Structure 1
């Protein structure tokens, strides 16, 4: 299956149009959060992404809550849920994990992330907004800001692919956790065959 993935569009309509154009060649399209900027512009960018239809799976970032995202689109939004598309099981979790604590950030505690992911034993794709601890997660002087709950989840589930964004300094970087490829997407077009 041909998977197209992106993250951190932050309201960039031109970048969203590129995703939609490229999606004609994809079986599945993943969007790993921060679709808008603090929910500003969520409507217009989701209107651009709407033609993705059933191919698309989204998780909220820390720039939009799961409720705001679900109210604004008919596309599938995952947060502590799984879905099967194109023969692949995807588990999704949004928000900033661990919490950023900055004004307007939609944050999830490590404990909440652990609770939401606990029901899932395995998946083909783990789609999150935040990175696992120690993989493409270094943010300037703050250092590693990845999630221990997400690291434990990827260690336990061993998906073929874990996609995330959130840490702009590490866009395009990847690493492995066990047999899982973990990729910090950024707003470009990332292709993967699963």
Structure 2
């Protein structure tokens, strides 16, 4: 299964157009949050991305709420928004079991506009994540693809715990811009900080 993964478009229409083209070679599309900037401009990219006809899974970033993202994708029939829940998508290459949790985890220093959750709340949203599927989060697990420009780790303890418990095949995240495009493994799980340029992952 070829999976097109991206995150953190932040209203970048050129990046969105490029992803529409890349999606032609994908079986599944995953968007790991931050389509907007501080709750502004969701339509800038989603009005372009809705041309993608492949099954798509999206989670909110810390720049938009899950309610805002669901409203903005009403005209994108193949897209599913997940936040503290799972869904199995049928693709041309078979079924994909996904679980999604969005927002900034842990709480960011950005203030009231940021759509954030503390680690205890995140643990609740991740508690029913099944084993062996695909986990989509906006925030990365701690000490993986979460090093900011000063080298400080900024990821989530609860997401890392979920990975070690559930052993997903793939984790797609974003949020920490300085690690865009970076891939690491945590035991048998591939973790990708996707970024806006898009990366196609081939998954058995």
Specify the TM-score bucket, using the shorter chain as the normaliser: over 0.9
Q: Choose between structure 1 and 2: higher helix proportion.
A: 1
User: Deviations 1:98-155 (Å, cap 9, x if unpaired)?
Assistant: 0103131110111111001101231421111000011011113471111000000111
**TM-aligned CA distance change 1:67 to 1:123, over 3 Å:** farther
Q: Report the equivalent of 1:6.
A: 6
1:138 paired with 2:142, answer no
The structural deviation recorded for 1:47 is 0.8
Alignment map for 1:116-127 (pairs within 5 Å): 116-127=125-136
Specify every segment of 5 or more residues in structure 1 that has no aligned partner in the other structure, as ranges: none
RMSD between aligned alpha carbons?
1.3
Question: What corresponds to 1:55 in structure 2?
Answer: 55
**Aligned equivalent of 2:82:** 78
Deviation at 1:59, TM superposition (A): 0.5
Figure out how many residues of one structure are paired with residues of the other and give that number.
194
Give the C-alpha shift of residue 54 in structure 1. Answer: 5.3
Taking structure 2 as the reference length, the TM-score comes to 0.91
Deviating above 4 A after TM superposition, structure 1's stretches of 4 or more consecutive aligned residues are none
- Structure 2 residue runs of 5 or longer lacking an equivalent are none
Whether contact under 8 Å (1:121, 1:156) holds in the other structure is no
